[in-house]
Amino acid sequence: MTIVAFQGEHGAFSEEAIYQHFGRDDVETLPCRSFEDIFAAVEEGRADFGVLPVENAVAGSINKAYDLLLERDLRVWGEIFLHVRHYLMAAPGVELADIRRVRSHPQALAQCERYLMERGWLAIPWYDTAGSAKDLAEHPEPDMAVIASRLAAEIYGLNVLAENIQDLRWNITRFFVIGHGDAPYTDNAKTSLVFAVPHRPGALYHCLGEFARRGINLTKLESRPRRNRPWHYVFYLDFEGHWQDPVCQEALIGLLARAAFVKLLGSYPAAPQPDWAGNGSDRG
């Protein structure tokens, strides 16, 4: 049985991502209070892997996740693209016409803002999407609904009143699977790393040129403040290919010669791109 740690209560979107990637038959999920606790669970051997959200197609990168990947020593073993679909649910017996208030995580409320405003419902921020479902199941209220995943409705016995209520169709969250050591080699690989450059003209240009000259496609490049050096930055970069591929090794050797430091986060199987024509809401 593979044990996988995630942040949140049972029924969280991270748990949906786990089941999408690992299946449901041979996996046990371990809820954690924070991102730091995910890393600790894997580092201490209480979990085999962790699943960590790293960016959202609407909201952008999750900075805390990337900071931890830089600071800690776990490696990326895989990626997951989860199409986040928000469901409106209530206690058994409560109808849509009864709803006056809706509770959920602030981000979920923001992603369904137009849907809520059209109905004049009061949005109430809560600590977690799945947590709001759990709390409502334990303490039903006749005019209260929550926004969470379909998995949360199944786990806590709530009735789904409406589905796909998010304002934007392209609500995709990318997750990393993290673990000890390196993932097995795969031909269909993507590599993630973080690097910093010397403080001189053209430094970033020359670092990126190591990939451009070899025809290596970059799929992500983002800067973040360097936490121990004000007004200095690190760059998170993803590229197509495995670090063991000869052409990728050449680019990395060139990068090492030009950068102030380089940390390889991992090479892992590239996940299939989501169905961008999926059946989410189209109110955006």
- pLDDT for 230 equals 78
Which position among 13, 175, 195, 211 bears the catalytic label?
175
188, 208, 166, 179: which is closest to 270 by C-alpha? 188
Q: Say what percent of the chain tops pLDDT 70.
A: 96
Domain architecture of the chain: domains with CATH? 2-84+171-179 (3.40.190.10), 87-163 (3.40.190.10), 189-269 (3.30.70.260)
Task: Place 232 in a pLDDT band, splitting at 50, 70 and 90.
Answer: confident
Q: Spell out a b/e string for 83-112, using b for 16 or more CB atoms within 10 Å of the CB, else e.
A: bbbbbbbbbeebeeeebeebbbbeebbbbb
Which position among 13, 173, 176, 195 bears the catalytic label?
173
Residue 126 has pLDDT above 50, yes or no: yes
Task: Place 212 in a pLDDT band, splitting at 50, 70 and 90.
Answer: very high
Mean pLDDT of 92-101: 97
Residue 173 bears catalytic tag:
yes
- pLDDT for 282 equals 46
Mean pLDDT of 256-280: 84
Mean pLDDT of 18-42: 97
Mean pLDDT of 109-113: 94
The predicted-structure confidence for 182-211, as pLDDT tens digits, reads as follows 999 999 999 999 999 998 999 999 999 999
Residue 111 has pLDDT above 60, yes or no: yes
β-sheet with 101-104: strand ranges across: 122-125, 101-104, 144-148, 87-90, 159-163
- pLDDT for 18 equals 98
